[in-house]
Structure 1
Amino acid sequence: MLLIKNGKVLTMAGITYEKGDVLVAVGKIQAIEENIVATEEMEVVDVKGAWVMPGIIESHCHIGIMEEDKGFEGNDTNEATDPITPQLRAIDAVNPMDTAFKDAVEGGITSVMTGPGSANVVGGQFVFMKTSGQSIDEMIVKEPAAMKIAFGENPKRVYNSKGKMPSTRMATASLLREALTHATQYKAKKEKAFTKSEDFAVDFKQEAWLPVLNKEIPLKAHAHRSDDILTAIRIGKEFDVLMTLDHCSEGHFIADYIASSKYPVIIGPTLTRRSKIEVQNKTFETPGILHQAGTLVALTTDHPVIPVQYLSKCAGLAAKAGLGIEEGLKAITINAAIICDVADRVGSLEVGKDADIAIFTGNPMEIFTDTLYTIIDGTIVYKNRANN
């Protein structure tokens, strides 16, 4: 058992304890109170007023699948040989030994949504996982967790260079509609065959679409420019599927349209140069504008575009630009968990949830704040020796 004492406990569930304790056992949070009496079987960590929070969540990245300093051998992000690859699974490419996971843990990041890139119209399945472990099979929280799709410059550029579709935005949308139409027909045929107890030839590629069509996972839509965001929304509504709008760099231009769609957004990477035409209008004001319009907002580094450990600092810049401190913290904890559909396990400090906890010297969105401890499933996986 682990007892964290005397912390400023920000549960991200509507309650903050100025001086609170958190009891952990068997990988879960057992109690959160103002004064839990220590017993002999408990390991006690007195944090002396430090901020105790849910572990930070990165809701869109490529950690482990685009490894640090490995070049081609460590980059399995895009299978850029076919624009439609729903059958690809991130779990078959993520390397838990990627050194970026160590950086994530030291930044208080306890879980991530990671997966394929945006070269393809349909890139494959994401996984939601913890950031500490040796086997991805033991680190998984949800798999599959989302189906990656992409609009805008990236699929156009990649396949125009190959002389094949898509080389226009029209073709990108057409290929996605075609894939979803075939998947819908496949689902109907499979259900009909099951009802009549008939033989049915399973198609591995089409099977990957079923969690999307059954609304078990969302389409994870890479879309920067406002017209691409609206195309993503249009197609999502046509096929009645769940969707997250990822990057959303021009979302502030169409905030009311996004809010009316009810699709949540994952904004970023914003702490980078304007390297492409479609990100010319990106700004840290976007999260605040979308939040004010009524949209659920999370933030992303899009690691390795921005190193994953700086997610909390991106939240600080968004908070400064209009999102506010409370929503800035939510955007990297409970909001991210809700958007990734894992809020039953992570994203807030509540009894029964996973004991994923980050302890900071102060507000993690501030530049001089240090991580003191990172705890995943009740185990201390990082301890800052300089502060202990």
Structure 2
Amino acid sequence: MILIRNGKTFTATGRNYENGCILIDGDKIIEVDENIGIKNDMRVIDAKGGWVIPGIIDAHCHIGLIEEGMGFEGSDINESTDPITPDLRAIDGINPLDTAFEEAVKAGITTVMTGPGSANVIGGQFVAMKTKGICVDDMIIKAPAAMKVAFGENPKRVYNSKGKMPMTRMATAALLRETLTKAKNYKQKKDSAQIKGENFDIDLKMEALIPVIQKKIPLKAHAHRADDMLTAIRIAKEFDVLLTLDHCTEGEIIAEYIKNAKVPAIVGPTLTFKGKIETKNKSFTTPKELNKAGVKVAIMTDHPVIPIQYLPMCAGLAVKEGWDLEEALKAITINAAEIIGVEDRVGSIEKGKDADIAIFDGNPLDSLTKTMYTIINGKVEYRI
């Protein structure tokens, strides 16, 4: 067993401790309290007055799919040959030995949501996974965890260069509607065939969309501009499917619409150059304004756009712009976990959850702070 003590403990449950204790048995947290007695069979980790928080979660990145220093050989992020590729699975392209995973662990990041890029209207399946391991199958928390879709500039640019649809925002929306309609029809035909005991030809593209139609996983919508986000919301309503708004660059312009649609926002990457038209209104005030409107917010790096180890800094820069510190911490812990659908296992420090914990020598959102320990599944995977 491991006992963590003497730390300013942010649990992300609403109850925090100025000097808390956490008891770990195997890969689970079994007790959280102000004082837990030390026994002979315990390994004691002294936080020395530092901050103890849940393992940090990046709710949108491409770690393992576009590898550090590898160029084309390590780039498996976009199959930009077909605008509709829902059958692509992130787990088949992730390299757990990508050195970026080491940087994530050193930064206290224990869970990531990673998957295909935004070249295609439908890009494929994202996965929620831990950041330590050598086999992706052993690192998975949830797969599939979301279906990537993209609006706006990226699919327009990619397929305009190929002289094929979509070359307009109208075509992007039309292709998505067409494919979701096919998926609903496919499921009805499959269900009917199963009831009747008839043979049925499996279509892997349509099979991949059944969890979306069943509202088991959301459409994970790449959208920067306000109008693109509203199109994503419109289509999600039409087909009665779940949705997350990823990037959400102009989200504060339409914060009330996002709130009324009951759609969460994964904001970023904000710590970058405004390199294209649809990111011209990018601002670190966006998380605060969305949160103020009642939208559930997470922060993302979009790694490698922002190197994944700078996720806490991105949350800190939002605090610098007036956001509440505790809300910013939630954005990279429990909010992120809830948005990506893994809150039953990670995102907070409480009994029964995975023992994923990060310990820092100061405020985790301060760029001068160092990671003291990163614990994943009850194992110390990094120490200073």
**TM-score, shorter chain, exceeding 0.5:** yes
Partner AA of 2:282 in structure 1: K
What is the match of residue 256 of structure 1? Answer: 256
Equivalent residue, structure 2, for 1:20: 20
Aligned counterparts, 1:7-86, within 5 A: 7-86=7-86
Which residue is 1:269 aligned to?
269
**Which amino acid letter does the alignment assign opposite residue 145 of structure 1?**
A
Q: Does 1:359 align with 2:359?
A: yes
State the Cα deviation string for residues 142-188 of structure 1 (Å, max 9, x = none): 00000000000000000000000001000000000001000010011
Aligned to 2:107: 107
> Which residue pairs with 1:368 in the alignment?
368
Whether the aligned pair in 2 keeps the contact of 1:103 and 1:309 (CA below 8 Å) is yes
Name the counterpart of 1:203: 203
Cα distance in 2 for residues equivalent to 1:66 and 1:245: 22
Q: 1:256 Cα deviation (Å)?
A: 0.7
2:326 is aligned with 1:326 = yes
**2: CA distance between counterparts of 1:23 and 1:83?**
49
Looking at structure 1, the residues matched to 46 and 363 of structure 2 have their Cα atoms a distance apart, in angstroms, of 18
Write the mapping of 1:282-321 to structure 2, written as runs, cut at 5 A: 282-321=282-321
Whether the 8 Å CA contact 1:146–1:220 is kept in 2: the answer is: yes
Could you list the runs of 4 or more consecutive aligned residues of structure 1 that deviate by over 3 angstroms after TM superposition? none
Q: Which position in structure 1 is the counterpart of 2:242? A: 242
Contact 1:112 1:128 in 2 (8 A): yes
1:158 aligns with 2:158: yes
Corresponding residue number in structure 2 for 1:224: 224
Give, as a single letter, the amino acid of the residue that structure 1 aligns with 2:228. Answer: D
Please tell me the residue identity of whatever aligns with 2:241.
V
How many Å separate the matches in 2 of 1:323 and 1:148? 29
Deviations 1:113-162 (A, max 9, x none): 00000000000000000000111000000000000000000000000000
CA distance in 1, matches of 2:223, 2:187: 27
Quote the offset at 1:9 in angstroms: 1.1
User: Contact 1:53–1:359 (CA<8 Å) still a contact in 2?
Assistant: yes
Q: Which consecutive residues of structure 1, in runs of 5 or more, have no partner in the other structure?
A: none
Counterparts of 2:54 and 2:155 in 1: how far apart (Å)? 36
Report the Cα distance in structure 1 between the residues aligned to 2:322 and 2:222, rounded to whole angstroms: 24
Deviations 1:48-67 (A, max 9, x none): 11111100000000000010
**What runs of 5+ residues in structure 2 fail to find an aligned partner?**
none
Question: Could you tell me which amino acid in structure 2 is paired with residue 170 of structure 1?
Answer: M
Aligned partner letter, 1:325? L
Q: In angstroms, what is the RMSD of aligned CA positions?
A: 0.7
Q: Counterparts of 2:382 and 2:26 in 1: how far apart (Å)?
A: 18
Letter of the 1:141 counterpart: I
Give the CA deviation at 1:323: 2.2
Hey, what's the Cα distance between the residues in 1 that align with 2:365 and 2:6? 21
Counterpart secondary structure, 1:322: coil
Q: Which residue identity is paired with 2:163?
A: G
AA at the equivalent of 1:95: N
Q: Distance in 2 between matches of 1:64 and 1:146?
A: 17
Which one is further off, 36-45 or 309-318?
Answer: 36-45
Separation in 2, partners of 1:287, 1:230? 18
Give the Cα separation in 2 of the matches to 1:356 and 1:233.
34
| Percent identity for Structure 1 against Structure 2 | 65
Letter in 2 for 1:155: P
Residue correspondences, number: 384
Tell me how far apart the structure 2 counterparts of residues 323 and 196 of structure 1 sit (CA, whole Å). Answer: 57
| Counterpart position of 2:121 | 121
Asked if the contact 1:125/1:148 (under 8 Å) is kept, the reply is yes
Residues 316-325 or 209-218, more deviating: 316-325
1:276 to partner: Cα distance: 0.5
Query: Matched residue of 2:24: which SS?
Result: strand
Q: Distance in 2 between matches of 1:265 and 1:323?
A: 15
- CA shift, 1:99, in A, is 0.4
Aligned residue in 1 for 2:383:
383
Q: 3-state DSSP class of the match of 2:216?
A: coil
Q: Which residue of 2 aligns with 1:338?
A: 338
More displaced, 169-178 or 29-38? 29-38
